[in-house]
Chain A
């Protein structure tokens, strides 16, 4: 049917390589985004490209650096009493991909993702939902990054 596995699709990110993702530079109000986005990039680079986390940055075949450009919450639905019912978390990360030995980045750009989550009458529980939304948005961001890097067909 013409579809090929990632291993034989001749992707820019050949499978089986080792990858080092640095902590995402985070100057926003989120206390955990630098860790959650970094972990998502590791997890999705394995689920989609079979890449293994490198144990040291210097030894890695691929290196990813990023800066969290924005972390914004916006109300997207309201109740009859005009009280917020759902929020949308949008994250935007400037990312760079480097290959071993190369100085100039192989790919450089900004990737965005969003995830909606419900408000709660208890702000502490709503905060748990916001953290779950950050995980989900980071996963979509990582997927979109891995696919966008292949834009050289």
Chain B
């Protein structure tokens, strides 16, 4: 399924400190950062936003330290995450984990395609792909929250 370009969606960020660098067109937030765009919320210690050519166009968000990304019933955690809103793709590295209801997925790198509702987990650096699926009744919904 073709992905929608999400870069034009408004983004709201809360943080203790902000350091903007107009020339580099980047903004660095640090200290209990919370960034919300559409149905995705990103929590992290530090957030670097790279703006696109057009003003207020968010091309890429880099999150570092205790990263938590929440979308509906899915929660992703890692030490480092890159959200490319143009490509509708989030890449989690550094002990990445996705919890979907009671199912959990972990590996070396997790790539999540937001609009295709699909995620890819690959192993490497001694970390195998590990998925634990909690059996729910066939009729049960996608997972008890």
Contact between chain A and chain B defined by CB under 8 Å = no
Residues of chain B touching chain A, judged by Cβ–Cβ distance below 8 Å, are none
Residues of chain A touching chain B, judged by Cβ–Cβ distance below 8 Å, are none
